Amino acid sequence: MKKDEAPSYIVDLALRRGATDAVANLHDRQHIMIRFSNNEVTISKFYDESTVDIFLMIKRRRAATTIPFSSTRSLEKTVEKLIKIARMTPPSELYAPLPEGPFSYDPKLLRGSKVSLNPDRLVGYVEEAINAALKEGAKKVAGTLNAVVERNVLATSGNVHASQERGALDISVRAFTSEISSGHFVSVSGDEDRFDPSEAGRIAGEIAAAASNPKPGEPGRFTALLGPLVFADLISQVGILSSAFLVDIGQSFLADKVGSQVACEKLSLIDDPTVAGSYGARAFDDEGVPTRRNVIIERGVLKGYLHNSMTAKKYGVETTGNAGLISPHPWNLIVEPGEKSFEDLLAEIDRGIYVTNDWYLRYQNYRTGDFSTIPRDGIFLIRGGSIESSVRELRISDNMLRILRNIRDLSRTRRWIRWWEVEVPTLTPYAVIDDLNFTKSTM
Amino acid sequence: MEDLIELAVNYAESLGAKYAEARFQRDIQETVILKNGFPEAAVLEEKKGISVRVLVDGALGFASTDGLTRRDVKAASSRAFKMARASARIMHEKVSMDDSSLGNVKVEVKQRIGFDSIDIESRTSLLKEAYKRAVEEATERNVKVPACSMTIDTWMTEKLVASSDGAYVYSLIPRAAFSMLMTAFHPQKGSVQRFFDLGGSGGWEIVERWRLPSLIEKEAETLSEILLSAGKSPSGKTDVILGPELVGLICHESSGHPGEADRILGREAAQAGETYLNRDSIGLRVGSRLVNVVDDPTLDGSFGFYLYDDEGVKARKRTLIKEGVINEFLHNRETASVFGVKSNGSARASAFDREPIVRMANTYLEPGDYSVEELLEDVKEGVYIRNFMEWNIDDRRFNQRYVGLEAYRILNGEIKERIRNPVLEVTTTGLWSSVDAVGRDLEFQAAYCGKGDPLQGIPVWTGGPHVRLREVILGG
């Protein structure tokens, strides 16, 4: 059996063995990651994997697996075992048959861009980023470069037989001018043409240089200017927690809020994997449903959750093309731009704090949205519309819904963000938040 | 499999690698999920393959493949070699491995009750019983449980590690884990949530020991009581007693992570960050003389259990902080070589396609002399924080915040009324310096520690006894 025929073979076999519905998704993935620190390469890695996700239902009884692609016999044994497990599994709350195809897909989304996996070329990108940061005054530079080429072949019992390809590049650069002065930036692209490691290095270096000699910050409520890395972290939380599955298990502050004003009118958030050439673009989801542009928040109003066919049935709506066979999730988040430049936003803040990055976001209560996260890299005091000085050791301790409602303005400039802390690619502007609560260690 | 591992190492050496290490790893995991009382899909996952790590001209290259043919393995060795060679041109400080003695052993953890003997239906029934009792307990108090997800995972990790300088270690370790996120809700009082993990190495007997239905019933009772009766937390200077769950987390976050030698060298700078410690910090006082923090992978039945690490070095107990002073860092062979010491067996990889990096295993505060009653009796006014929900720490591991969930006021040595969300937002040295008494009890809890890029979540225990902090400032 040819590799590409395996998904259809698995689905047919599962149906013959008694499954009412079945999905098989073959993933071929080659991924190079180069990690660097102290201006040199820490380790460079090549991942070569071929796996198969199999999901089947016997009405309300469901079972799923992920296994390495191997021989026909091994795949057959896995299907037999999965059927046995499904029969033993107590019934779920609902039965939703898999969406019925065949579907038509946007051909532009089926073809992946060409991304080179040549180690010398990729090490060259790393050198470019390091040198750009050093040129801005950085003493040491660290980061990660990823180059990915992948392809998946999907078959479902809903008459889906399709394949899509994807190529992507990203680099995350953190530059240091001292142990406590740093800057961070990224370049994220669905193709090599728009990939700009030098710019990522340059911006990281600029922030690090500006952040020199930070003084301990003071806690309190401030107008905050959030850079794209921070705002992407917060906004990707909104996107991720709009999954109907997470809403159901209590892991979302968006529960019971569809139709409500959850944010300032200036905020519109869309999950849009149909933008060809963007990092998170894709033609179909894990059930074979064509992806689409889903408005999550429109002018501050929560329009709906992200669904697969199972959660959609529970909520009495149509799937949004965001399967995840168990939990739906966003693919490619986009915040609509504002009208002002970064300089305009800065100029309008009399007394505030500019935060360029954050990490380690944890909730006190997902349902209420109470959380804290730690600004890192450049943090700057704003006085009279200008950056006055660099500060450190502050924490944002606030509530997600309060922050969304307190958005004062957004910039027209946007950046694609994805890195260690922000998993879902997110196109985001700078944001001004009124009355953001900052805390610090008491001793 | 031995042949393929040998081939990977030999082929990499034949290409010119100065050091080569190959690891076969297979993780077979079964998961049952109960969402609001209903089963989700049962999930069976098998992840297996071989990775090769090589040293070429002072640069490290790594490649993994889930193809298990001779051709796939040779291709992986070749790719690792090429990746390292391409990187060597921008290496200034050449990487090397220390000369630790390496194991040639087989380690196998036995299951008293095999996972195979407990079918999916029985596992789901156990969760359903726990959920039912939780809902009944809350309902008795007019509290709703609008959302509750519970998961039981069982998995077997099989590894074979071999290196060009003589390591040859086979291990087979079964693990079981439970996790839960529960929401309690009352129309006038709002909501509270509790998340926690349990885990250990061994067979199904671990799960039986947890007595999940009683445990989860108790959690529902506590959450309901917090919702209904907890008052405002005091702030300002006060004495605080921390329970083992919080002490364990603090040990992990503010003692374990800062002492990871790869962080000290800046290797995690762009991801999990650096540390407030530096290469000269051995001997630095960071806490009171009562503070002894250790990390011990060899604890029987522990979630972070192993006897040889993923570079083939024998594991041992590491004393990270001794009598309040930084005593030892966590090392793999690479960092040990830089520091001029021997690896203390801290190299762990979460899967076949992840490289071994410096990790914790079971990190805890060593017990002292006090009973919990003795800790309490000397507190005139204070706060007892038993567990937590929100926490985080900065990327230098110095400024941290813990928000209590189950917490009480202490008055004249007695535990009084419940309080809600006391905030401990302090520096690492501020916290450890305020320890004035350490309990003689010791409890562990499970967690998945995240580090590396791609992120490697590995099973760990965190733990400790009850601890008393004098005159800390609550609120942040």
In a mutagenesis test of the A interface, which of B69, B87, B252 is the best target, namely the one with the most A β-carbons within 10 Å?
B87
CB spacing of B90 vs A41 below 8 angstroms: yes
Q: How many angstroms separate the CA atoms of B426 and A443, rounded?
A: 5
Q: Is B400 on the interface with A (CB under 8 A)?
A: yes
Q: Are A169 and A236 in the same domain?
A: no
Q: How many contacts (CB atoms, under 8 Å) link A and B?
A: 285
Token pair 């958005």: residue: A407
Residue A64 is encoded by which pair of tokens? Answer: 């799923």
Give the angle subtended at the CA of B303 by the CAs of B352 and B463, to the nearest 5°.
135
Q: Are A171 and A261 in the same domain?
A: no
Q: Are A318 and A429 in the same domain?
A: yes
List the beta bridge partners of residue A11. none
* pLDDT bucket at B232, cuts 50 / 70 / 90: very high
To which H or E segment does residue A352 belong? strand A351-355
How near does any CA of chain A get to the CA of B274, in Å? 9
Reply yes or no on whether the pLDDT at B240 is more than 80. Answer: yes
Nearest residue in A to B64, CA atom: A47
Q: Are A190 and A235 in the same domain?
A: no
pLDDT at A53: 97
Task: Please give the average per-residue pLDDT across A48-54, as a whole number.
Answer: 95
CB spacing of A144 vs B86 below 8 angstroms: no
CB spacing of A249 vs B393 below 8 angstroms: no
| Option in B44, B89, B395 nearest A123 (CB) | B89
What ipTM does this complex have? 0.96
pLDDT at B126: 98
Specify whether the CB–CB gap between A137 and A202 falls below 8 A: no
Nearest residue in B to A440, CA atom: B476
The per-residue pLDDT for range A266-297, each reduced to its tens digit, is 999 999 999 999 999 999 999 999 999 999 99
Task: Please give the average per-residue pLDDT across B185-190, as a whole number.
Answer: 96
The per-residue pLDDT for range B407-450, each reduced to its tens digit, is 999 999 999 999 999 999 999 999 999 999 999 999 999 999 99
- The values of phi and psi at residue A124, to 5°, are -60, -40
Specify whether the CB–CB gap between B134 and B148 falls below 8 A: yes
CB spacing of A441 vs B427 below 8 angstroms: yes
A-facing residues of B in 416-435 (CB < 8 A) are 421, 423, 425-427, 430, 434
To which H or E segment does residue A244 belong? helix A244-248
Q: Are A253 and A357 in the same domain?
A: yes
In B, which residues are within 8 Å of A37 by CB distance?
265-270
Q: How many angstroms separate the CA atoms of B261 and B271, rounded?
A: 15
Token pair 């609550």: residue: B474
| Burial degree of B89 (CB within 10 A; 0-12, 13-18, 19+) | middle
> What are the C-alpha distances in Å from A28 to residues A51, A166, A405?
7, 10, 43
How near does any CA of chain A get to the CA of B140, in Å? 21
CATH code where residue A63 lies? 3.30.2290.10
| Option in B35, B192, B426 nearest A442 (CB) | B426
Q: Are A138 and A221 in the same domain?
A: no
Q: Which one, of A376, A370, A363, A359, lies nearest residue A419 by Cα?
A: A359
Q: Which domains does chain B have, with CATH numbers?
A: 2-26+47-98 (3.30.160), 115-229 (3.30.160), 236-474 (no CATH)
Residue A367 is encoded by which pair of tokens? Answer: 């349902």
Instruction: Write down which residue in A208, A229, A248 finishes a domain.
Output: A208
Task: Please give the average per-residue pLDDT across B386-406, as a whole number.
Answer: 97
pLDDT at B194: 98
Reply yes or no on whether the pLDDT at A378 is more than 70. Answer: yes
B-facing residues of A in 278-317 (CB < 8 A) are none
Task: Please give the average per-residue pLDDT across B347-351, as a whole number.
Answer: 98
| Option in B148, B191, B270 nearest A142 (CB) | B270
Token pair 């992948």: residue: A150
How near does any CA of chain A get to the CA of B43, in Å? 5
Instruction: Write down which residue in A155, A173, A208 finishes a domain.
Output: A208
The per-residue pLDDT for range A236-251, each reduced to its tens digit, is 999 999 999 999 999 9
What is the number of structural domains in chain A?
2
In B, which residues are within 8 Å of A244 by CB distance?
none
Residue B345 is encoded by which pair of tokens? Answer: 């067996």
In A, which residues are within 8 Å of B266 by CB distance?
37-38, 140, 142
The per-residue pLDDT for range B44-100, each reduced to its tens digit, is 999 999 999 999 999 999 999 999 999 999 999 999 999 999 999 889 899 999 999
Token pair 């800790």: residue: B375
Q: How many angstroms separate the CA atoms of B322 and B294, rounded?
A: 8
Q: Are A260 and A343 in the same domain?
A: yes
Reply yes or no on whether the pLDDT at B476 is more than 80. Answer: no
> What are the C-alpha distances in Å from B373 to residues B370, B377, B441, B472?
8, 6, 11, 20
The per-residue pLDDT for range A7-50, each reduced to its tens digit, is 999 999 999 999 999 999 999 999 999 999 999 999 999 999 99
Q: Are A199 and A255 in the same domain?
A: no
In a mutagenesis test of the B interface, which of A181, A249, A359 is the best target, namely the one with the most B β-carbons within 10 Å?
A249
CB spacing of A361 vs B392 below 8 angstroms: yes
Q: Are A14 and A151 in the same domain?
A: yes
* pLDDT bucket at A1, cuts 50 / 70 / 90: confident
pLDDT at A91: 93
Q: What does pLDDT average to over chain B?
A: 97
Q: How many angstroms separate the CA atoms of B47 and B24, rounded?
A: 11
CB spacing of B147 vs A248 below 8 angstroms: yes
Q: Are A117 and A240 in the same domain?
A: no
Q: Which one, of A294, A274, A309, lies nearest residue A156 by Cα?
A: A309
Three-state DSSP class for residue B112: coil
Q: A71 is in which domain, residue-wise? A: 3-208
Enter the DSSP assignment of B209.
H
Cα torsion B14, B17, B18, B21: sign: negative
A-facing residues of B in 191-210 (CB < 8 A) are 191-193
> What are the C-alpha distances in Å from A276 to residues A104, A286, B49?
16, 18, 34
Q: Are A122 and A247 in the same domain?
A: no
Q: Are A226 and A363 in the same domain?
A: yes
Instruction: Write down which residue in A208, A240, A268 finishes a domain.
Output: A208
pLDDT above 90 covers what percent of chain B? 98
Three-state DSSP class for residue A316: coil
